[in-house]
C-alpha cells in the first residue's frame, strides 16, 4: 500500500548487512571515520561511502568534519533504540570462532548502548538501584525517588530537583533479554562510573571492562558481584 511507502523505505535501509554493521558499531554514541567503518564492515571505502550517504540522507546518521577526515555518529537515541529492538527480535548469537566467542562474552558482560551501560552489568545495576529504593519500578519505566536523588548528590551525580519527576526509560537488553535503565540518568551514571575508574573501555568494540577497584566498589555500593 502506498501509505506505507516511507515505512518500506526506512526498513530497507536497516535490512542491508553493511548498513546494519555501521549502525551497530556506532550504537555506543561515539563518532567514527568512514575508513574505520569500512574496515569494520569489511567493504571498500567507495562502497562504505555509498551506504553512509544513504544513512545520512535518511537522517539516521550525522556527518561532521575534523581535519581531513569525515566522522559519522548516530543521529539520535531513537535510531539506537531501533537497532536494539531489531537485535532483540533475532535469535541468540551463535559463535563459530574463538574470537567471536570472546567478543560475545565481553559484550554480554558489559557494553555501552548509546552511552549507557548494558549487558549483565547494566541489568544488575538496574536491579540494585530498584532494590536500594533509589529508583521506583513503574513496570515499563522507572522514576528516581527522593532517597535516590539524595544518593545521587552524595555519589557525585549533578541532577536538578525535577529529576524525581522525570521518567527513566527501560531498554530490553539484546544479549540478556532483560531490561536495563537508559536515557539521561543512565548516561550520567555511566559517565560517573568511568570518572571514578570503576569501569573502562574494553578491547572488543563497545565492550566495558570492570576494573579491580570497580569490582570492589560495585560490591560495596550496590552489592553487585560479577
Above 90 in pLDDT, residue 157? Answer: yes
Q: What contacts 178, CB < 8 A, 6 or more positions away?
A: 123, 172
* Mean pLDDT, residues 109-129 taken together: 92
Output the CA torsion 113→162→129→222 (10° steps): 90
Q: Cell triple for residue 15? A: 535490512
Say how far apart CA 106 and CA 21 lie, in whole Å: 18
Lowest-confidence pick of 8-12, 161-165, 176-180: 8-12
Say how far apart CA 87 and CA 171 lie, in whole Å: 12
Residue 100 has a pLDDT of 56
Residue bearing the bigger pLDDT, 32 or 90: 32
Residue 101 has a pLDDT of 55
What global pTM score does this model have?
0.74
pLDDT band at 91 (very low <50, low <70, confident <90, very high): low
Residue 40 has a pLDDT of 87
Residue 104 has a pLDDT of 66
Above 90 in pLDDT, residue 128? Answer: yes
Give the pLDDT confidence of 166-224 residue by residue, as tens digits: 899 998 886 777 889 999 999 999 999 999 999 999 988 889 999 999 999 999 999 99
Using an 8 Å Cβ cutoff, are 24 and 57 in contact?
no
* Mean pLDDT, residues 19-47 taken together: 89
Using an 8 Å Cβ cutoff, are 134 and 146 in contact?
no
Amino acid at each position: 500500500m502506498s501509505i506505507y511507502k516511507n515505512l518500506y523505505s526506512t526498513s530497507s535501509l536497516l535490512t542491508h548487512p553493511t548498513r546494519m554493521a555501521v549502525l551497530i558499531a556506532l550504537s555506543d554514541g561515539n563518532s567514527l571515520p568512514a575508513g574505520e567503518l569500512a574496515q569494520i564492515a569489511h567493504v571498500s571505502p567507495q562502497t562504505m561511502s555509498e551506504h553512509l550517504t544513504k544513512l545520512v540522507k535518511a537522517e539516521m546518521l550525522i556527518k561532521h568534519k575534523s581535519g581531513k577526515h569525515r566522522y559519522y555518529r548516530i543521529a539520535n537515541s531513537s535510531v539506537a533504540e531501533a537497532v536494539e529492538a531489531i537485535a532483540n527480535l533475532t535469535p541468540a548469537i551463535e559463535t563459530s570462532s574463538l574470537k567471536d566467542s570472546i567478543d560475545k562474552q565481553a559484550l554480554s558482560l558489559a557494553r555501552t548502548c548509546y552511552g549507557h551501560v548494558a549487558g549483565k552489568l547494566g541489568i544488575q545495576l538496574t536491579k540494585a538501584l530498584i532494590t536500594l529504593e533509589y529508583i521506583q519500578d513503574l513496570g515499563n519505566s522507572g522514576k528516581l525517588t527522593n532517597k535516590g536523588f539524595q544518593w545521587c548528590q552524595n555519589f557525585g551525580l549533578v541532577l536538578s530537583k525535577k529529576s524525581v519527576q522525570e521518567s527513566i526509560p527501560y531498554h530490553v537488553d539484546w544479549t540478556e533479554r532483560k531490561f536495563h535503565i537508559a536515557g539521561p540518568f543512565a548516561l550520567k551514571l555511566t559517565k560517573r562510573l568511568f570518572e571514578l575508574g570503576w569501569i573502562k573501555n574494553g578491547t572488543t568494540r563497545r565492550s566495558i571492562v570492570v576494573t579491580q577497584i570497580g569490582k570492589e566498589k560495585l560490591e560495596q555500593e550496590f552489592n553487585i558481584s560479577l
